[in-house]
Amino acid sequence: MTVLTSAGIVIVPLSVAHADQVAALHRRYIDTGFLSSLGLRFLRRLYRAIPHVPSGFGYVGLRGERVAGFIACAEHVETLYRQALSRHGVSMAVALFPQALRPSVLRRIIQSLRYPSQIGGAYPPAEVLSIVVNEAARGTGLAAQLMERAAAEFRVRGIHQVKVLVWNRKTRAKRFYEKSGFRRAGEVPYHDRVLDAYVATLGEDAPRTGAA
Ligand SMILES: CC(C)(COP(=O)(O)OP(=O)(O)OC[C@H]1O[C@@H](n2cnc3c(N)ncnc32)[C@H](O)[C@@H]1OP(=O)(O)O)[C@@H](O)C(=O)NCCC(=O)NCCS
């Protein structure tokens, strides 16, 4: 089912066709993140892989052919990485070349792959990996609708607890998560910064995210 927001934006499942625009939005608006530092080619590969692996899914808000915003999610982050690497590992490795030859970058890639198991147990394995709405569409409710679609899909998959990790300086994003029913549950050291971990409990039938 597609949803038309008041801004004339249609929400559809993330597909390979959207990956390049989604990667560009990620790079532009989550520019401080480690994934962005791995470059646009890597982000394109990652977003091409996400809708193809069982553990991943996402939604995009389309105005015409343009992606105005997106959300990308993992049912289980570790599994998503494993599935993406086993199916798309070669193209992802090629996309990382030559940065991955630098020991500091290689070390951070390994840390990124390990963080889900390192924090495992403390937080739910399901995660909102990224959400971005371009500046023109902010404040329109698109972000909330993307989150609602994601929450509905998590519920369909039998998942009722979801986390999101956000750089602790991202005030607007943190307010958005709180507004969406996420509550701060702790912090996670991630590379050279501290991320706030937010967790939402998704009710059985509730249409929106909501804390327990
Ligand atoms: C996070 C994001 C998707 C939220 O979408 P949005 O359209 O901005 O969200 P909303 O406007 O519905 O909610 C943001 C809340 O932040 C607050 N806010 C609004 N403008 C703000 C500003 N300039 N500075 C700080 N907070 C602000 C408000 O509390 C607002 O809630 P309200 O509408 O009830 O007043 C979007 O801001 C974005 O793409 N940011 C850049 C990418 C990013 O940081 N992604 C998250 C990475 S973890």
If one compares 199 and 87, the residue with the highest pLDDT of the two is: 199
Ligand 1: distance of its center to the CA of 210 in Å? 18
**Is residue 118 pLDDT above 80, yes or no?**
no
Tell me the per-residue pLDDT of 179-192, one tens digit each, with 9 for 90 and over. 999 999 999 887 77
Residues 95, 62: Cα–Cα separation, whole Å? 27
Ligand 1: distance of its center to the CA of 3 in Å? 21
Ligand 1 neighbour 165 (Cβ under 6 A): no
> Quick one: average pLDDT of 17-27?
97
Atom of ligand 1 nearest to the CA of 142: 7
Percent of the chain scored above 90 by pLDDT?
A: 60
**Is residue 7 pLDDT above 60, yes or no?**
yes
Least confident of 62-66, 115-119, 180-184: 115-119
Q: What pLDDT shows up at residue 212?
A: 35
Q: What pLDDT shows up at residue 179?
A: 96
Q: Assign 102 a pLDDT band (cuts: 50, 70, 90).
A: confident
CA neighbor of 146 nearest in space, from 60, 77, 64: 60
Atom of ligand 1 nearest to the CA of 143: 5
Q: What pLDDT shows up at residue 142?
A: 96
Longest C-alpha distance within the chain, in Å? 48
Q: Assign 210 a pLDDT band (cuts: 50, 70, 90).
A: very low
Nearest Cα residue to atom 48 of ligand 1:
166
**Is residue 24 pLDDT above 70, yes or no?**
yes
**Is residue 65 pLDDT above 90, yes or no?**
yes
Enumerate residues 6+ apart whose C-beta is below 8 A from 60.
11, 12, 13, 14, 18, 21, 22, 67, 69, 70
| pTM of the complete model beyond 0.95 | no
**Is residue 25 pLDDT above 90, yes or no?**
yes
Q: What pLDDT shows up at residue 207?
A: 46
Least confident of 139-143, 161-165, 187-191: 187-191
Distances (CA, A) of 65 to 10, 17, 49, 61, 149: 10, 10, 21, 10, 20
Q: What is the DSSP string of 26-81?
A: HHHHSTTSHHHHT-HHHHHHHHHHGGGSTTEEEEEEEETTEEEEEEEEESSHHHHH
Q: What is the DSSP string of 81-125?
A: HHHHHHHHHHHHHHHHTTGGGSHHHHHHHHHHHHHHHHHBTTB-S
Q: What is the DSSP string of 160-202?
A: -EEEEEEETT-HHHHHHHHHTT-EEEEEEEETTEEEEEEEEEP
Q: Assign 49 a pLDDT band (cuts: 50, 70, 90).
A: very high
Ligand 1: distance of its center to the CA of 89 in Å? 34
